[in-house]
Each structure stands twice: as structure tokens, then as C-alpha cells.
Chain A
């Protein structure tokens, strides 16, 4: 120190400042060491996480066709305006409400809802603000991309059901996976994420695994506003497999028309190829429009429409063909006839049982609708003699009835490739409860079970399957809609992370048909009775088609006691059939709710379906062989 004095100790003071400066610089060095050397990797990762984004590329879902290649379902490209929460983090979103609702012409309240929802999401999440936008909205978003970096237009394939309400129950619909489903291990294991689209109901749900494609993604570099700077990697999606179904759209349309023209417009018509179980048509009325579920859940109107479906007392969402359970009434007599012969309660030679105009059990008389003397089996079927079947059921005993339930598969699902099929209720399932509550199984219940009432309710599909097997003389096939899934080629490079293996064509597995043992003359006898129902002056004589011989059975299922069966409580009308009688090609069942007598309501509905079938297959005259057998 050149200058200074003792009092001030200037040298020491300058030294103090120097030491202090070095201490401060050293502190910075220590902090640097901690940030860069100790935690360098952590921050490096954080930096990467905030600049790298995965933008999913949705995979097109497989289309669904009918057996002749007519389109039933496909996906359409739609443009959605998507909202990402990242650029909104530091923005007061109330400022955006007016702008969005004016610019995109949206409901103000809905914009408020969406904005508050996106603010609650995790970082980097996106959400659809407006679906299916037109060129006007797209240009608006593009024009304001600097102002509102949170908005983006995204191409998204949207499921489209061109047929509307037709076939809706069979096709089902798609929607975002629900929060509850996401919690289930079944979905977690497959790597589902919120917002993923999955099949809900129908074939969409049953074959979701095949229809769904494998989504790809773009790995991109973004800046602090989330704007894409460059693409780092692209993994292309693999489309889902196209489903060719066994449905014949022409037959389906006719079935829907028949239901629409029915008195109550409620019921179901199913058509099947009895030779292999292929479903030709399945209509259930009233129906719903799956498009509403696809588009609607994001708009208030759509949500209202969906809620209306759920609340509708006519239950349009419910597939009556496989979920409806109805007393089978006289259609029940067909499996019972076969079982009576099989079990030896009656024989081909001695099949006569008394009608008696009814039967007295204890002190209660239960009547037959006619007076049929002591008819043989075929005549009892043709005329639907209740008295005969009261006595047959008693002869078989309730154990015989239960054996029949098991033989004809009424104690199980039919195995159709649709979700949520119901199992019929029969004396087999009721037995434990009845015995527990009443002490024993009474004869009157056996008598009622003989005519398909009281303890019997069956699904239309189970009844069609059972009766078709009679036409096939004991061969009972599994009903199904799947003909084939088309193959899809591999995507990407084998061995790389972007590789999706090829998906081979898949057909229906065709389980072995269940075999019901009966002699040819036993089958002949039952089929003869069914032939007579339409062609031999039976209960459905009115629907006879020359040269195309229908074998069928009417049924009138009692909903309420006699005398109260009016209006909504009217009987359900059944008609179950196959044709041609001695070499069946098609089996059709109709159930019309609360219309009354089967012969006058269900049978004509079935006839319409046969007419369409005939016109499609150019059926002018019946084959000579059929005529000879008559």
C-alpha cells in the first residue's frame, strides 16, 4: 500500500475486500459444481422432457362390411380444433372465452367448461375444443397461431356409421375409454391411455382388438410455447383389420322395415344360416344412432341426446335379440316335442296325447285354446294344442324338461360374438329358489313349463338357435357375425422400434356343432308338424309362400293374466321358422312386443324376410326333392 495511515489500516481493508470477492466467487463455483456436475444428468433430462413431445398419430380403425362387401362402418377424416394446456399455463383464460366463442362460433358456456377442464389437466395434455371443423374454423386458427399458440388443428379419423340406426345394436359404437375401464387390469395391461378410442357394445367392442389399429407417433422438438420446431422421429401407425361380416344388408334392411311397420314398433327379427350359424340379419327396435355417441359426448346437445336414449322407457339401447328375455309361449313346444321323443315320453308310433280342452291340477283347471281330441304330435304342433303339451310335460316330468333345457342349450349363452348376451331363465335355474321358497316343485309349474310360461323366459337368439338345429336334424351351430378379418401388412422396419408385425387374415373359429341325438323319423315328425303350421292349415297358414315351404311355429307369450292382456300388457307375438322345410337354407325368428297373437303379427313379419331372401337368391320354384318328401 503506497498510501494510508495507521488509523485507517487501508492495506488490511483492501485485503478484506479482495478476500470477500474471492469467497463470493468460490461460493458461485460450489453452486456451479452442484448444478452441473452433481445434478447435471437430472437437469439434462428435465431439459429434454420439456423440449420433446410425442404427438400421437391415430391409427385408422378397421371398417366393417356385410357379406357382399357393402360398407357398414368406416372412419372418416375429420379436423378437430385441439387445445393444449401448456401455452395456457401463464394465461388468464377468461380473456379467451369471448375470442374463442366468437372466432369459432361456439357456445360460450361450453368454451368456459373446456377451458377450466384443460387447466386442470396434467402438463402437456391436449383436449378437443371443437370437433369436425370446416375450412372457415381452420383458417381462423391458422391466422391466429401466433396469438393463440394453444390452438391446433388436428386430423383425426372419426368413426362413421352411414346406416344410422340400422344394425346399430350389432355394430355398437366407439368412444373414449372410460376412467373406470382405465382402472381395470384388463385394459391397463394393454397399455390404454386416457382419450383412447375403444369399441363400446356390439362388434366394435367384441372385436375391438382386431378393429383397433396400432397408433403411431411423431416425436418432435418444441419451443417454450409448445410450437413444433422439428421432427425427431416418426413411427407410422398400423391400421386396424377390416371385418367382413356374415350380415346380408338387404335382409337386414327388410327385417328393420318389418319391425318399423309392426304395431308397436318394438321387437326383434333375426335371420341365420342354419347350416353354419352365420347371422344374416339381426334387427332390434327401437334402435339408436351410433353417430350420436361418437360425435355427441363433447357437445351439450349430444350429451342430452345420449341421456335421452338412456332414459327412454322403450329402451332403444338394449339389443332385444340377445338381451331381451321373453316367455317363449308355444315356440317352446318345438324343443319339447324333440325332447319328448328323445326321452321316450312319446314315440313316433304312439305320439297321441289327450287335449281334453285343458287340464285339472289339484282343483285348478288350466284350459287349452281349442278342443283337439287326442292328437298325434305333428297335429299338436300344427294346431299348437296346449292340452297335449300339459300332458307331455307331466309325462316327461320336470327332470325331463330340465334335460331338454340342457340339450338345447337354454342354460347357457348361445356363444354369439356380441358382448352382454343374457342367459335364458328356465326351470333349471329356478328350481333351487322354488324348492327353497315353496318346499317343492309343484305339478302346475311343470304344466306351465310345458307351454313356455311361468318359469321360462328365453332370449330370441337362443330360441332361433334351438329351432334351427331341429331343421338341421340335430346339428346346433354357434351363431356368429364374423366371416373374416382382412390381413394387414407389416409397418416399419423389422427389429426397429417402429415395427408393427403383419396381422394375418382371421376367420371365425367355428366350434364343432353340438349334436342332438334323434332318429330320422323322429325329426321328420316334428318338422312335419312345423311344416303344417304354415302349409297345412296351422296357426300361421296366412304366410304360406308357394314353392318356398316354411316350417315354423307361432307363439303368444302371456305378459299379464288373461283379461288384463290389453294395451301395454298385450301378449308378445313369436314366430320361429326355417325354410325350405326339408333342406333349410335360412332360419328366421321374429318377436314383436305386446301386439297379441303370434300368427297374426310375428309370422307376417317373418314372411317379409323370406320374400327378400327369395328375391336375392332367385327362388322361383321349390327343388323337386323337397316336394317329394312332403
Chain B
């Protein structure tokens, strides 16, 4: 699978994208250390980055088209992994059965990895079509490919992880020529149906109390029980606000995460830790780094030599934008608390690996922009 690295490859290699991703991940290691200085998460993350970089380089220098051709194999393999989670091989962590333990490989989260085969499978299907508007049949087949992993993830159940799959499908449809009027209808329908569904759900009791609380914690954090669900939102907001303009770097004595006021500081709330330690300046720098990284990826999509490559990059972009917005919005107290990791920052090998592999695809597509 590993192609011979030619001189031209190194010249065309997207160093900026690669270095940005490594820089953000390293910055993440520092923040994980700030979050839990006495625990080993940060050193594990360094090892994770090294492993991810190996995978990243392999993917970069492999012809993505060959990988897309083999997509059905990866896709089926992915579905099997997701199915294993539901078997006794599945491991429960923090009350959620999203992990699987395999001999030799160890414990990992399939729902993170299966994004890649899903993207490849969808790209293979939608990349084969030529032009014209997206047809209903195509939408149904795309939807079926998408439904496979998502249904299995919902069965775990891990709704938070399942949600992160939707931007992939949305990007596929949008860039495969879905009629704009459908897009508008979907947006308008969502704007109307979501509040209606909320009201009906609350009235009929279909939306359970704890689920309501997650939402109410956002709209009115101080009136709810500050020790209940609002607690996470309040503490995260306090932690972010406490950082101020320049942050309280190194002040572990008053650290919200060290004193355990901030829950899950090394994973879900790593952005709040960043905000506390580096302040507004650090946070804006991080968001700018993401913006530049995303711009580089989108530029790569524009230069892609085939539709499938373009779709791979753009669906990865949409997935990342969505995760960044969900995770940071949660940390800033404007979105409900859903366990979505912050790409490249949150501690966790599975997420890190899948993100680097995804970026590897982007670099691979860009490398082959002149090839036919």
C-alpha cells in the first residue's frame, strides 16, 4: 500500500496543513497537562500523536483512489467493529458502551474510526455520478450507506457520537447537487419543527427530565439546580470566564480542573481548560489555527482532481467544523452538554488517530491533484 515517495511528492506535500495539525495537537498536550498535571493523560497523548503521525504518513503517501476503490471492504469491516461493541467484547466506560477490547490492539472506540470508511463508502458512491441534480434514488442509497453505522452507534447508545455523522451526509448531498430548494425547505422545516417537537415532547413527557435539563441549563443556567445538569455548564462558563484576556497559565492552585470543579477537563472540556490557562488571546489563536487548517483543507478540495477526492475532503471538513462548534459551544455555555471531542485537542487515542487519518486523506488528495 505504501507508495514510493518521490521527490515531487515531498515538494507538493502540504507541509502547512500537516504542521498546523501537529501544532494544534501539541498545544492540546499542553492543555491536557494543565487539566490533569498529576495524571498520565498528557504523556499518553504524546504517544497517541506519534502513533497517529505514523498512520498519517502512511495515508498521505497512499493513493487515496485505491483506498476509495477498497471502500466496501473498510465499510463492512467498520460495521463489524461497531457490531462487536454490542457483543460481550464491548466495554463500558463512564456508563456508556462505546468501546471494544480486542486482543493485541487493545481498547478503542470504533465509532471514531468508522467515520473514515463511511466517508470513503459515500465518496465512492457519490463520486461515481457525473452531473445534474441529485435524484431521490441516489439520496436513498446514500442514506442507506449512512444508516448502517449510525444505527449501530445509536444502539450503543451514543447519540453524541451519532450526531457527528450527520454533517458527513449533509456535505455529500450538498456537494452532489441536491436542489437548493430542498436545502431551504430542510432549514425552514427544522426551524419550525424543532421548537414544536420540544414543546410537544416536554408536554407529553417523551423528552425525559434529564434530557430537558441539559437544554434548560443553556437557556437559564442559574435558575436550575446548580448541582444538577446545569452544573457542568456553569462550571465550564466560570472556567472560561476566569481565564480573562491572557489566562492564568501555570496557576495550578486555583485551577478549576485541578480542584475538580470542571468535569472531564482533559476530554470534553479541554477547551475550557485552554480558556482558563491561555485566556482570550490563546483561545482566539486556537480558533484561528482551526480556521487556517480548514481553509487549507477546503483549498485542497477545490484542487482535487476527481469528485470522490473532493467529497472526502469536504465531508471531513464539515465533520470537523461541526465538532469544533459543538464542543466549543458547549464549553462556552451556549450548546447543551454532549460528549463530542474537540478535534486534535481532546485526550483520547481513537479520536486523535481518526482525525490524523482524515487529514492524511486531505494531504493525499492534494498530493495527487495533477495526476489522472
With A32-B275, A47-B256, A89-B227 as given contacts, are A224 and B261 in contact (CB-CB < 8 Å)? yes
A24 touches B241 (CB 8 A): no
| CB neighbors of A among B348-368 (8 A) | none
Selected A-B contacts with CB under 8 Å, 19 pairs: A2-B303, A5-B131, A7-B132, A7-B177, A8-B131, A10-B177, A14-B302, A18-B298, A22-B291, A25-B290, A28-B325, A31-B329, A32-B275, A36-B245, A40-B244, A40-B280, A222-B259, A229-B253, A230-B253
Give every chain A residue within 8 A of B325 (Cβ-Cβ).
Answer: 24-25, 28
B241 touches A43 (CB 8 A): yes
With A18-B298, A51-B259 as given contacts, are A7 and B321 in contact (CB-CB < 8 Å)? no
Give every chain B residue within 8 A of A33 (Cβ-Cβ).
Answer: 280
Whole-angstrom distance between the alpha carbons of A29 and B241 in the complex?
13
Q: Mark A8-38, 1 if CB is under 8 A from B, else 0.
A: 1011011001101110110011011101110
Q: Which residue of A is nearest B370, CB measured?
A: A2
A28 touches B328 (CB 8 A): yes
Q: Which residue of B is nearest A88, CB measured?
A: B227
With A32-B280, A32-B283 as given contacts, are A46 and B321 in contact (CB-CB < 8 Å)? no
Whole-angstrom distance between the alpha carbons of A10 and B177 in the complex?
8
B291 touches A36 (CB 8 A): no
Q: Out of B238, B291, B332, name the residue touching A47 (CB < 8 Å).
A: B238
Give every chain A residue within 8 A of B240 (Cβ-Cβ).
Answer: 32, 35-36, 43
| CB neighbors of B among A310-338 (8 A) | none
B294 touches A21 (CB 8 A): yes
**In this assembly, does A440 line the interface, its C-beta being within 8 Å of a C-beta of chain B?**
no
Q: Out of A5, A36, A41, name the residue touching B279 (CB < 8 Å).
A: A36
Give every chain B residue within 8 A of A51 (Cβ-Cβ).
Answer: 254, 259, 261
Give every chain B residue within 8 A of A224 (Cβ-Cβ).
Answer: 235, 259-261
A28 touches B329 (CB 8 A): yes
Give every chain A residue within 8 A of B239 (Cβ-Cβ).
Answer: 43, 47
Most chain A Cβ neighbours within 10 Å, of B228, B242, B244: B242
A36 touches B329 (CB 8 A): no
Give every chain A residue within 8 A of B321 (Cβ-Cβ).
Answer: 17, 20-21, 24-25
With A18-B298, A31-B334 as given contacts, are A223 and B261 in contact (CB-CB < 8 Å)? yes
Q: Out of A40, A222, A230, name the residue touching B241 (CB < 8 Å).
A: A40
B256 touches A37 (CB 8 A): no
Give every chain A residue within 8 A of B30 (Cβ-Cβ).
Answer: none
**In this assembly, does B50 line the interface, its C-beta being within 8 Å of a C-beta of chain A?**
no
Give every chain A residue within 8 A of B132 (Cβ-Cβ).
Answer: 5, 7-8
Q: Mark B293-328, 1 if CB is under 8 A from A, else 0.
A: 011001001111111001000100110010011001
Give every chain B residue within 8 A of A124 (Cβ-Cβ).
Answer: none
Give every chain B residue within 8 A of A8 (Cβ-Cβ).
Answer: 131-133, 175-177
B332 touches A17 (CB 8 A): no
Q: Which residue of A is nearest B262, CB measured?
A: A224
Q: Out of A14, A41, A44, A90, name the residue touching B228 (CB < 8 Å).
A: A90
A229 touches B259 (CB 8 A): yes
With A5-B131, A25-B324 as given contacts, are A221 and B302 in contact (CB-CB < 8 Å)? no
**In this assembly, does B163 line the interface, its C-beta being within 8 Å of a C-beta of chain A?**
no
**In this assembly, does B287 line the interface, its C-beta being within 8 Å of a C-beta of chain A?**
yes
Q: Out of B227, B275, B298, name the residue touching A36 (CB < 8 Å).
A: B275
- Nearest-neighbour CB distance to chain B for A433, whole angstroms, equals 61
**In this assembly, does B369 line the interface, its C-beta being within 8 Å of a C-beta of chain A?**
yes
Instruction: Tell me the dominant secondary structure on chain A's binding face.
Output: helix
Give every chain A residue within 8 A of B284 (Cβ-Cβ).
Answer: 29, 32
Apart from A2-B302, A32-B332, A47-B242: 13 A-B pairs, beta carbons within 8 A = A11-B302, A14-B301, A14-B314, A17-B314, A17-B321, A25-B321, A32-B280, A37-B280, A40-B242, A41-B244, A42-B241, A43-B241, A225-B260
**In this assembly, does A105 line the interface, its C-beta being within 8 Å of a C-beta of chain B?**
no
Binding site for B on A (CB under 8 A): 1-3, 5, 7-8, 10-11, 13-14, 17-18, 20-22, 24-25, 28-29, 31-33, 35-37, 39-44, 46-48, 50-51, 89-90, 221-225, 229-230
With A2-B302, A32-B284 as given contacts, are A7 and B242 in contact (CB-CB < 8 Å)? no
- Nearest-neighbour CB distance to chain B for A92, whole angstroms, equals 12
**In this assembly, does B31 line the interface, its C-beta being within 8 Å of a C-beta of chain A?**
no
**In this assembly, does B27 line the interface, its C-beta being within 8 Å of a C-beta of chain A?**
no
Whole-angstrom distance between the alpha carbons of A3 and B131 in the complex?
10
Interface band, chain B: 35 or more
**In this assembly, does B171 line the interface, its C-beta being within 8 Å of a C-beta of chain A?**
yes
**In this assembly, does B174 line the interface, its C-beta being within 8 Å of a C-beta of chain A?**
yes
B227 touches A35 (CB 8 A): no
Q: Which 6 A-B pairs have the closest CB atoms?
A: A43-B241, A40-B244, A89-B227, A8-B177, A5-B131, A90-B227
- Nearest-neighbour CB distance to chain B for A39, whole angstroms, equals 5
Whole-angstrom distance between the alpha carbons of A89 and B290 in the complex?
39
Q: Which residue of A is nearest B263, CB measured?
A: A224
Give every chain B residue within 8 A of A22 (Cβ-Cβ).
Answer: 291
B241 touches A17 (CB 8 A): no
**In this assembly, does B237 line the interface, its C-beta being within 8 Å of a C-beta of chain A?**
yes
Most chain A Cβ neighbours within 10 Å, of B171, B284, B303: B284
Q: Mark B125-166, 1 if CB is under 8 A from A, else 0.
A: 000001111000000000000000000000000000000000
B304 touches A2 (CB 8 A): yes
**In this assembly, does B243 line the interface, its C-beta being within 8 Å of a C-beta of chain A?**
yes
Q: Which residue of B is nearest A36, CB measured?
A: B280
Q: Out of B244, B287, B302, name the residue touching A1 (CB < 8 Å).
A: B302
Whole-angstrom distance between the alpha carbons of A32 and B244 in the complex?
9
Whole-angstrom distance between the alpha carbons of A20 and B320 in the complex?
13
Q: Which residue of A is nearest B240, CB measured?
A: A35
Give every chain A residue within 8 A of B329 (Cβ-Cβ).
Answer: 28, 31
| CB neighbors of A among B195-252 (8 A) | 225-228, 231, 235, 237-245
Give every chain A residue within 8 A of B324 (Cβ-Cβ).
Answer: 24-25
Whole-angstrom distance between the alpha carbons of A5 and B176 in the complex?
11
Whole-angstrom distance between the alpha carbons of A48 and B332 in the complex?
19
A37 touches B314 (CB 8 A): no
| CB neighbors of A among B323-341 (8 A) | 324-325, 328-329, 332-334
A21 touches B317 (CB 8 A): yes
Whole-angstrom distance between the alpha carbons of A14 and B259 in the complex?
44
- Nearest-neighbour CB distance to chain A for B174, whole angstroms, equals 6
Give every chain A residue within 8 A of B237 (Cβ-Cβ).
Answer: 35, 43
B238 touches A46 (CB 8 A): yes
Give every chain B residue within 8 A of A28 (Cβ-Cβ).
Answer: 287, 325, 328-329, 332
Whole-angstrom distance between the alpha carbons of A24 and B132 in the complex?
30
Give every chain A residue within 8 A of B301 (Cβ-Cβ).
Answer: 14
Whole-angstrom distance between the alpha carbons of A21 and B175 in the complex?
15
Give every chain B residue within 8 A of A44 (Cβ-Cβ).
Answer: 241-242, 244
Whole-angstrom distance between the alpha carbons of A223 and B290 in the complex?
33
B259 touches A223 (CB 8 A): yes
Whole-angstrom distance between the alpha carbons of A224 and B236 in the complex?
13
Whole-angstrom distance between the alpha carbons of A480 and B59 in the complex?
97
B260 touches A18 (CB 8 A): no
Whole-angstrom distance between the alpha carbons of A293 and B146 in the complex?
74
Give every chain A residue within 8 A of B287 (Cβ-Cβ).
Answer: 25, 28-29, 32
Give every chain B residue within 8 A of A48 (Cβ-Cβ).
Answer: 254
Whole-angstrom distance between the alpha carbons of A13 and B290 in the complex?
20
- Nearest-neighbour CB distance to chain A for B202, whole angstroms, equals 23
With A7-B132, A13-B174, A18-B298 as given contacts, are A223 and B260 in contact (CB-CB < 8 Å)? yes
